[in-house]
Amino acid sequence: MTIEILTVLPELLTSPFEHSIMKRAQERGHLNIKLHQLRKWAINKHGQVDDYQYGGGAGMVIMCEPLANAIDELQQEGKFDEIIFVTPDGKTFDQKDANTLSLKNRILLICGHYKGIDQRIRDIYVTQEISIGDYVLSGGELAAAVIVDAVGRLIPGVLNDETSALTDSFQDNLLAPPVYSRPANFRDLEVPPVLLTGDPKKVDVWRQEQALQRTKQRRPDILKKD
């Protein structure tokens, strides 16, 4: 899968993908991340990509031309399966969206800044608008990093048995159960005895119960989801 990111701050997006699972996904050829500096398509030699908004008001808007020219040029190599604008007024991203996106071939994430991007780019090019939560970040880059990480780890072949996504929180509309490691007794707190029985069926039943209980207590809203 190829994920391309259009941004005025590509520097913000290098480190998050250079470690751990994202690093391995790229090394093994499952994930190709391409960062594009939007200023490459600036309207003048000063690197301008934004301008004041019509109607007045504080905050700059990323202009149509740089974005349209960038997308058109990138699509000469082939169409994107999705062109996603990362924005606080988009649909709130969840595990189901991550699963769906992980099956695409090539997607583009557009990071906004300031007051956002000209509405006409959203009308003409954008196929999905995604928010990572009900709070406002300084720009779309950190949100894009979250989306790439959540999607990238789900690409078939990226995770092995040890890191399998099947037992992740949210994967089956349940939070993950509690986990324990050595020692069996820590400050008088014992590991639940069932985990020491060596009986995988009993352990599975316990984990399922714990996941359900935790979800009922903490996130009853996700139990109702399809």
Pick from 124, 136, 179, 205 the residue near ligand ADE by CB under 6 A: 136
- Identify which of residues 54 and 135 has a Cβ nearer to ligand ADE in the complex: 135
Q: Rounded to the nearest whole angstrom, what is the least distance from the CB of residue 193 to ligand ADE in the complex?
A: 43
Query: Whole-angstrom Cα distance, residue 26 to residue 42?
Result: 30
Query: What Å distances lie between residue 154 and 31, 147, 185, 215, 217, CA to CA?
Result: 10, 11, 35, 22, 27
Task: By CB under 6 A, name the one of 4, 8, 80, 87 that touches ligand ADE.
Answer: 87
Residue in 35, 71, 83, 86 binding ligand ADE, rule: CB under 6 A: 86
| Concatenated DSSP letters of 28-71 | TTS-EEEEEEGGGG-SSTT---EEEPTT--SSEEE-HHHHHHHH
Given candidates 7, 41, 49, 88, which one binds ligand ADE under the rule CB under 6 A?
Answer: 88
Give the integer Cα–Cα distance in Å for 32 and 3. 6
Q: How far is the CB of 181 from ligand ADE (least distance, A)?
A: 34
- If one asks whether residue 137 binds ligand ADE (CB under 6 A), the answer comes out as yes
What residues line the site for ligand ADE (CB under 6 A)?
86-88, 112, 131-133, 135-137, 140, 143
